[in-house]
């Protein structure tokens, strides 16, 4: 058992496309976190940055562990002091061989940490950077769906084959359709397993198989039965198991499909 998760026999291969392994709640135990993930079948993990400091931390982890990849970006809740010159720093960081996306970027009108107009400028410029570099985006959206989708629709990533992912989806089917129409993939996290998340499960059951990703958002959003405890990439298997139940497919098939989706979106290859 890997921290309460059944170890894989090699038939289940998974990718955690969103985990914050640079956070101090995970960093001191990083070797164990990675070992448990691999034991649970998680072959690769993507760490999205939240600010310029975490860009450096994520790149350091990506250099240290062959299973870890990075995304670079400034989160809306980290954009209060946004400077347009930060784009140059992100562009330079994105040249790293293990950077596979621009993220985590987007809008968050829940926390009120950054004025909406500042968030929107930061988001817009980072979307333009992704378009310039041909990289997908990892998008955060909290209580800002209309503005998030409006800015995405006006950006150079809209409609591209590798547009990006709306991570930790928590909306209804109408929102999912709008996201899919823009060419984005949809990521599901721990809440898919929560007892009162029937509406979310209804959406997950309808999203086309080739547009699904699984995530943990570690150390947050821990799935059942570990809800309330620290989340980590090994637990993405629990999200995959719930998704397999919803779709009436074997776990290994959900692993195969979501891994293929992650590889295609983020250009993840063994020799990347």
- The domain made up of 14-266 has a fold known as TIM Barrel (3.20.20)
CB-based contact 61:70 (threshold 8 Å):
yes
What is the pLDDT at residue 272? Answer: 42
Q: Is 217 annotated as a binding residue?
A: yes
- Where exactly are the structural domains of the chain? 14-266
Q: Is 140 annotated as a binding residue?
A: yes
Reading the chain (272 residues) residue by residue, the pLDDT tens digits are 455 566 666 789 999 999 999 999 998 899 999 999 999 999 999 999 999 999 999 999 999 999 999 999 999 999 999 999 999 999 999 999 999 999 999 999 999 899 999 999 999 999 999 999 999 999 999 999 999 999 999 999 999 999 999 999 999 999 999 999 999 999 999 999 999 999 999 999 999 999 999 999 999 999 999 999 999 999 999 999 999 999 999 999 999 999 999 999 999 975 44
Calpha distance 167→122 (Å, rounded):
18
Q: Is 20 annotated as a binding residue?
A: yes
What is the pLDDT at residue 112? Answer: 87
CB-based contact 232:219 (threshold 8 Å):
yes
- Rounded to the nearest 10 degrees, the angle between the axes of helix 145-153 and helix 116-133 is 30
Q: Is 272 annotated as a binding residue?
A: no
Q: Which long-range contacts (CB under 8 A, 24 or more apart) does 175-184 make?
A: 175/145, 176/203, 176/206, 176/207, 178/149, 179/149, 180/207, 180/208, 180/211, 182/149, 182/152, 182/153, 182/158, 183/157, 183/158, 183/159, 184/139, 184/152, 184/211
Q: Provide the 8-state DSSP code for 2.
A: B
């Amino acid at each position: 058992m890997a921290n309460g998760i059944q170890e894989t026999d090699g038939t289940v291969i998974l990718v955690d496309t969103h985990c914050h392994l640079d956070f101090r709640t995970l960093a001191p135990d990083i070797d164990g976190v990675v070992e448990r993930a691999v034991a649970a079948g998680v072959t690769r993990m993507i760490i999205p940055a939240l600010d310029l400091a975490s860009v450096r931390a994520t790149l350091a982890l990506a250099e240290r562990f062959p299973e870890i990849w990075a995304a670079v970006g400034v989160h809306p809740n980290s954009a209060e002091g946004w400077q347009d010159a930060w784009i140059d720093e992100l562009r330079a960081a994105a040249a790293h061989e293990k950077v596979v996306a621009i993220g985590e970027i987007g809008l968050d009108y829940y926390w009120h940490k950054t004025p909406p107009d500042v968030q929107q400028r930061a988001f817009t410029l980072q979307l333009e950077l992704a378009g310039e570099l041909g990289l997908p985006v990892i998008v955060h959206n909290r209580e800002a769906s209309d503005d998030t989708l409006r800015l995405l629709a006006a950006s150079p990533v809209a409609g591209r084959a590798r547009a990006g992912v709306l991570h930790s989806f928590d909306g209804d089917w109408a929102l999912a359709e709008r996201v899919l129409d823009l060419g984005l993939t949809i990521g599901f996290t721990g809440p898919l397993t929560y007892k009162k998340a029937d509406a979310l499960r209804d959406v997950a059951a309808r999203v086309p198989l080739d547009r699904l990703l699984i995530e943990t958002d570690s150390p947050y959003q821990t799935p059942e039965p570990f809800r309330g405890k620290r989340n980590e990439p090994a637990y993405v298997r629990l999200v995959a198991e719930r998704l397999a139940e919803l779709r009436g497919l074997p776990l290994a098939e959900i692993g195969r499909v979501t891994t293929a989706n992650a590889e295609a979106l983020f250009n993840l290859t063994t020799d990347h």
